[in-house]
Amino acid sequence: MTTLFDPIHIGRIAAASRIVMAPLTRNRAGAGGVPPEMAATYYAQRASAGLIVAEATQISAEAQGYIATCGIHTPEQVAGWRRVTDAVHAAGGKIALQLWHVGRISHVSLLGGNAPVSSTARTAAAQTFTLDGMVDVSAPRALRTDEMPRLVADFRHAARNAIAAGFDGIEVHAANGYLLDQFLRDSINDRTDAYGGSIANRCRVVVEIMQAVADEIGADRCGIRLSPVTPFNDAGLDSDTQGLFNHLMGQLAPMKLAFVHVIEGSTGGPRDFAPFDYDALRAIYKGSHPQGTWMLNNGYDRAMAIESVASGRADAIAFGKPFISNPDLVRRLREDAPLAVPDAATMFGGDAKGYIDYPTLDAAAP
């Protein structure tokens, strides 16, 4: 019987276990969106994860939505991430980078006075983190049809840069009400061009991006993150959520992506927020790519994770917040040891406190 602690090949990535560190925004980037030097320590401390998916990282200057988040579109950012990947690899770990465009979840103060871009010109009922604290997001402008190839090219360039920075793979962020989710859902997307209207049209840019990154670095180094029903960032439910994501998976599965990472329910909230047949989505992916890794996330504890992998419902489980305060989470899960609770006050922004000072089991022992 397969267990949570067994090794697995996630595409070409040989992972030591099926325990994945989910991407976690920590708002500690330095000037120019460069990862701070202590990020190398932070990620190396967590290198026992089967795979680390590093924090959401903007693909371009236009893609930023919060202060002090990292990018992967300048030489300085690539060099900063190289320090991180070298440290993780030296510690025996594997690490992928999540590629991010926030779309309308941004503010003009973060974009040089420019409006955020989206599938729509409608403003989200959401807030973002700026130098002035939490503020309402700015009104977006809808991307023009002739800008869509540039958006696809930005993702391709970011994937190429991620490999140049030493990452073992990438994950495209198409979840949580950010730009690609803004195109997918008809609760947000009100376009009348080739990227709006029908389910096929609304899926078009995601399919184009995944094909572009797969062509650039190899499908066996690419994954995608989806959150079919989350209301996060004012992402209302689609009028046909199951049909939408079944169609999208039908388009993506033949690409043989290394993994699909699915947030079940409401991100960081109830897993049963809205009905959805995740097993049907998995069947579509596995039907075209039996060796692909089906990765689940949201509120998993040890027992749930063990059962999901043993039953075949998941190939891997991604843990988020537990990795913040438990750098040796894999060992703690294996030994059924107590888990430390993260300090909410140091979750976003700040310095080394609450970032690289959480002790391991051995260090915490009297």
Query: Which residues are part of the catalytic machinery?
Result: 178
Q: What is the sign of the dihedral through the CA atoms of 40, 172, 243 and 255?
A: negative
* Residues ≥6 apart with Cβ < 8 Å to 324: 24, 342, 347, 354, 358
Alpha-carbon 59 to chain mean position? 13
* 123/197 Cα distance (integer angstroms): 19
Residue 337 φ then ψ, to 5°: -85, 160
> Which amino acid type is present at position 176?
N
Is residue 54 within 8 Å of residue 84, measured between CB atoms? yes
Contacts of 301 (CB under 8 A, 6+ apart): none
Please return the burial class of 285, using the count of CB atoms within 10 Å of its CB with bins 0-12, 13-18 and 19+. Answer: buried
Phi/psi of residue 52, nearest 5 degrees: -95, 130
The rounded radius of gyration (Å) of the Cα atoms in the chain is 19
Using CA atoms, how far residue 114 sits from 60, 101, 109, 130, in Å, is 14, 15, 8, 15
Measured from the Cβ of residue 173, the count of other Cβ atoms closer than 10 Å reads 27
- Lookup: tokens for 48: 């026992």
**Distance between first and last Cα of the chain:** 37
Q: What angle do CA 258, 315, 240 make, to 5 degrees?
A: 75
Q: Quote the crossing angle between the two packed helices 241-252 and 199-217, to the nearest 10°.
A: 30
Residue 237 is encoded by which pair of tokens? 């439910």
List the one residue out of 177, 173, 295, 296 whose CA is nearest residue 230.
177
3-state secondary structure of 291: coil
Q: Which two tokens stand for residue 144?
A: 């023009």
